[in-house]
Chains A and B, each alone.
Chain A
């Protein structure tokens, strides 16, 4: 940031900001409101301060319940009912929090994004590896988001040729035309739509006693195929922690201008997001675990078959339409955040001007990198007879290769006293993260083994 010019009585406060670059000027305006709220406290102002500081944590966690996530949870409930996966998803809440909280501290302390930290601290090889892997994984994940939007809108008889391009244009337009704070507020309102799955789960009239019992006993249904069960566990784990989430939240913290004073609020933001994510995921499992589980061939249902069964159930047409809207919302919020994460990562790695506060003519490569990659994903969805199964497998493979690597870099950075100072990981945070990385490597190794040797 540029130094403050010598003050003179003729300068106004606004004049003092004029010498700053455009993105910093906008950020300083946002930060000035936060500073005033923090230094003139009252109950009302404390609430406003908290509401101003939340954003990255809730966004990343709700976006994690993306279209692929909603489909995975719906299929999990349809296949296995409300047994094992309710306590499993409850366990995923602290797992997601522990991983994402590290990105909050890293961003607030260093004021640099994840891609920039890897490139700057560990060199071009790992920087290029991370960037390429993230970009490819993001494009493929975006394909699944646009598939969710396509499937959800088809319930309302909207053809893919309309729904998919309109969604892409919306994602691109809000990124280009809105400043960070407005973009974040709009994204948070869209994310609020994810809550729709909770009243739908309640409307399914589940046996709450079974749900409560399931929390305590990790019940695995009798006669399940171990391979398929392991695959579903991996899919649920994969939807809880993903590489793009690390890059997104850290870059978002930096673009929002958060600093070490904001870490407690951002931790609360991430905690609220984690709990919301877990509750919504469990609601989807309860919904299909109640209304779809037990039907003939339910284990082989795809999302269309699940929605067809929901329509025939007590949920009816209106409930199924709301479920479809939830699927569209899940795809849209994830498309918004993943597109931004690509732009930020490319901007950080290539040292481009990078901020949602910049006008498009000042940061065209930054905006285009995300928007064009989202456009590629949208086009793939419009190709007739595209091999979606192959694409889905490829997404999982790339993510499974990259996630332990991304976690390793995160752990190394969080234990680097030279850059983190007193904000380095505490022992319990390290041990928790080591356990998560160990489980990821073990699970991915098992998955890789079953892919390579399916008959074993």
Chain B
């Protein structure tokens, strides 16, 4: 079913204000975050966590196979 369009033949002030508002929703440019301080510590913690978990899972699977 095709829905009735909500548009007027001549742009209303409301519609122009809406379009203006929506055009300001464009995402801002994204730059790399500086990796320092607590973020650097968190990343190292994450790397260690992933390695430890992978090792434990590897041991688990190896034991499961044998």
Contacts and interface: CB of A to CB of B under 8 A. Distances in A.
A150 to B, nearest CB: 25
Contact-size category for B: 35 or more
A122 interface: yes
Given A33-B6, A397-B53, 7 more contacts: A16-B11, A28-B22, A111-B25, A112-B27, A117-B30, A405-B49, A452-B63
A1 B25 contact: yes
B3 to A, nearest CB: 9
Interface residues of A, number: 50
Nearest to A404: B49
Interface string B25-50: 11110111101000100110010011
A126 B44 CA distance: 12
B59 A452 contact: yes
A229 interface: no
Contacts, number: 117
Interface in A9-25: 9, 11-14, 16
A235 interface: no
Given A397-B57, A401-B50, A452-B56, A121 B32 contact: yes
Interface of B: 5-12, 14-16, 18-23, 25-28, 30-33, 35, 39, 42-43, 46, 49-50, 52-57, 59-60, 63
A412 B42 contact: yes
Given A3-B23, A110-B27, A405-B50, A13 B57 contact: no
Contact of B60 (A14, A29, A36, A452): A452
B25 A36 contact: no
Contacts of A29: 5-6
Contacts of A451: 56-57, 59-60
Contacts of A400: 53
Interface stretch (A141-149, A365-373, A441-449): A441-449
Top 8 A-B residue pairs of the complex, sorted by shortest distance between their CB atoms: A451-B60, A120-B30, A13-B7, A448-B56, A452-B56, A452-B59, A111-B27, A14-B7
